[in-house]
Structure 1
Amino acid sequence: MRFEQLKQFLALGSLRHFRQTAEQTNISTSALTRSIQTLEEEVGHQLVSRSTRSVVLTREGERFLKFCQNTLESYHDTRKHLDNLQLNDSQNVTIGYTFAAVEQVSLCAQFMARHPDVKVNMRLYSKDVLDTLLQNADIDLYINKNTATDGAMRAHFTHGLVIFVHNSHPLAATQSVSTITLQHCPLLGCFSQTLSLQARLEEAVKEMHKSNDIRLGSINEIINYVRQGNAIAIATPEHLERIELHDELVQITFEQAPQVSNDLIIKTGEHTADNVHVNNLVSLFTGTTLSA
């Protein structure tokens, strides 16, 4: 039993259609059929009831679907934890900052004096460039002076995802949207072919408490649904170019709540959640206790 098979069965459980699932997972329909048959042989139970029009999971299939979800979620969490361990062991921290925050960044000298074994790289860029670098995990810590518009970031939210709607949707005219608002709206999600990006999407959906009622599909399927005007969609950055081809689709601003110390905005990347060096630097800039 391979992770690819679990992902294929998870997609089949969501789409309930062999051809669409095969397209989504980039294999032929016959290969997908053989993969599901192999799973059934390995678990010793029929998982799928097939017909010419639809796919129905058996009782055992529904139970196995939950197993796939839990297993892949555990796998993503473990990979994330291992990646963070590697970051901590690397003894490198990259700080991105704007010119307005030069004075505050000088506090790094205190950290470097306490931790001479840690290499601190500092990069000076504009705010917009730093947002992109943080989303792409090219920097570990973002420091900027607070401005009136820094409470929200266009198109992407903390996980580096994109929210979009049809221009006739009520939210298209709003300046920003919060997770609380999204909890009460029908939500569509686009599959990602990149494991780390798919994990980001799943984590964001979980934070919005939409794991049980989100509808997943390919980017083309989701765009078609959104164009009907009554749904909100969430996608990974790889789909941004495809979304921007449709003038009637609007990317929504997502309300962020960055950590602010006096007149500073401090943001950390998702990839640095367990990085002790980054946490120590945040403590230094916010004036809280600095750990050893």
Structure 2
Amino acid sequence: MDTRSLTFFLSLCDTLHFGRASEACHISPSALTRTIKQMESTLGVQLFERDNRTVRLTREGEHFQAYAREALIQWDVIRNSLLEDAQELQGEISVYCSVTASYSFLYDILNKFRRQHPKIEIKLHTGDPESAIQRVMSGTDDITIAARTDTLHNSLAFKHIATSPLVFIAPQQDPQLDAILQGTIDWSAVPMILSEEGVSRKRIDQWFKAHQAKPKIYAQVAGNEAIVSMVSLGFGVGVVPKIVLENSPLATRVRILAIQPELQPYDVGLIALKKKRQSPLIAAFWSQTG
């Protein structure tokens, strides 16, 4: 069975952008457009309203989105259940994580997993960690390594791997910034470099609100590695998971600030749809962590 068209459709549902969806699916925008038009022709309804600037799901598209997600989950379950009696598991698992997670956690997991299940292929995608959970929920990827959100959706399963503090970082040497950071800090005078969205952004926003402080946001970026880079260049103060800093080639160019009270740490682990945990392949991967 060819389920790629459903995967392409769900990717477009999540991004509402033909360029980003086609990039995530590793096809051209024109190929994605043809796929969607063929689906609409087969179904006899319009799934998306689109013009030169926006893409929106129609009411029919929202109904089909629910069907497509359930269909892909059920397909994976039945396909993999047929492998349970096989002497050796085989097939494919799609994994998504940030670059930092790929060498901080994934290497050890895959090193053991590949020895035990050499016929299971791993399709690895790396990118912005804030996209991780949505990619799993949409069916684009089977498993992700990511930070647990404060309110994890009840359709998702989580397995703890590690805890990483969230830390404030600043350039190693910046006399002007050092003067601002002395004593009681006036956060409205501190240029901040923060994530656009996600767990760390929600926690720093809550932290500032609790301290009745209005930060001076210099830049909002996607990806923690970019925050470390901008801070090392002297653009301001950032907030990143400590594990990102420890694995960064720029770690010696920044310093951790002793800001109190500390931010709530990251709880990093495997995340997958509960329904997909029934798959022997997913279960085998899941068992690789403690």
TM score, norm. by length of structure 2: 0.42
Task: Calculate the TM-score normalised by the size of structure 1.
Answer: 0.41
